[in-house]
Amino acid sequence: MDATKIAFVAADSEAAQAAQARLQTRYPHVPPEQAEVVVALGGDGCMLETLHRFLGRQVPIYGMNRGSVGFLMNVYREHGLLERVARAQAVTLHPLRMIARRSDGGEIDAIAINEVSLLRETRQAAKLRIRVDGKVRIDELVCDGILVSTAAGSTAYNLSAHGPIIPLGAGILALTPISAFRPRRWRGALLPHAAAVVFEIQDSPKRPVSAVADHIEVRDVVEVRVHEDPSIDLTLLFDPEHNLEERILAEQFLP
């Protein structure tokens, strides 16, 4: 990896755009399609968009926080950037693949780095049947929705839905209901990372459901299949003192 062949990409915010302009003046850079390292400036949304943008190239992404939360980002500093990139630690992630079948028979194939979520579209609660590796685990879940989360995404929407935080390298996925009504006491499950999950939407004309893979939404789905895709490697770069594994672990001890 040649840290001098870097490209800068930025979110649309004023802070991110200004940071990009300053860094491009300070450091040599190349167009994104020629880069060996991409420096993303913004928040976690910018990082996810950048990972999706360069999905086919598998180029390492080094993020610096010019957004709000910045869980997937490094601290923003303008000096010593090349040295920081050169000594950064790499984390390789495998995303989820979602195959959603709509009521009209069409299928949408999408990649999710954080999570795949199913959400009711109307006032009517969703009714879902859940299969894991071909076996029915819940015949009917009445809920606002449900999600499958990766370890990297477990501190995002999954955590807001009271799902578990998953350490990197644990080799598991979180299956987390959103406002489950029945079975009332079901709080979700931890699944092997190689598990294949199928959601069948019951009574879909009356109780329509949408499926969302990160930022890609599919309306009026009748079946959604989700599994980890080990053929896709996503590489994030972190300063040694702010590595992602430590951040995910530390989240479990916050008051």
Coil, strand, or helix at residue 234? strand
Structure tokens at 175: 């299956």
Q: Where are the beta strands (DSSP E) in the chain?
A: 6-10, 37-42, 61-65, 89-93, 96-102, 107-112, 115-120, 126-132, 135-143, 145-149, 172-178, 189-192, 197-201, 209-213, 216-218, 221-228, 234-238
To which residue do tokens 């955590």 refer?
Answer: 159
Residue 198 exposure: Cα atoms within 13 Å on the Cβ side:
12
- DSSP tag of 50: H
DSSP β-ladder status, 96-102 and 107-112: antiparallel
Q: Enumerate the active-site residues.
A: 44
